[in-house]
Amino acid sequence: MQIHYKKPVRRQVEHREIYQHYREDLRFDFNNACGYCDDSDLRADRICFHIDHFAPQKRFQHLKNAYANLVYACRFCNMRKSDHWVGNDPDIHNDGKKGFVDPCDEDYDNHLGREPSGRIVAKTELGQYIVNRLNLNLMRHQLLWNARRSRSLRDEVELLISRIEQLNTPENQQYYSLLKSYKDLTKRIEEYEISAVS
């Protein structure tokens, strides 16, 4: 399965002289999630999300404000990637074994995937390099992916509750109670999550 719930796609945006002014555009294009690990910023302090220069600005100053070179990234991935780059050409992202793949590139999914448990795994040697370099095997990435999945399942449970309410038969009452308890519990957990990062 793919790493991203929804593949990030950079739009064409108006050029800005200061790359930090792209933050909201990047956040939108990357679906409010880290381009590398897909951790959502909806359950984290947004200050923890950085703007990564895919080809590092320290080495390639001319790309400092190039929107096509920017990635919305969690601090975990951004700090691990840092200014690391293979080679001296900003257009050559990897050598097939070492380096990176732009998360907006379709090739990203050829090198990295996700197990049903939510764990990020390598599909290729280059993918293994990326997993190791960005520390994508952190348990936090798996847990945050499962938390997002849980919220999605809760939405489906809400639809089931509505259908059971419409049927209103005694045999469905125990299912109704169980589903309602699940929905209420996950809602309280989510409210706690939100209050913990506010």
Rounded CA separation 118/116 (Å): 5
Q: What is the pLDDT of residues 152-177, one digit of tens each?
A: 888 888 888 888 888 877 778 888 88
Q: What is the pLDDT of residues 96-107, one digit of tens each?
A: 999 999 999 999
pTM above 0.75, yes or no: yes
pLDDT of residue 46: 63
Helix (H), strand (E), coil (C) string for 81-121 = HCCCCCCCCCCCCECCCCECCCCCCCCHHHHEEECCCCCEE
Cβ-contact 80, 100 below 8 angstroms: no
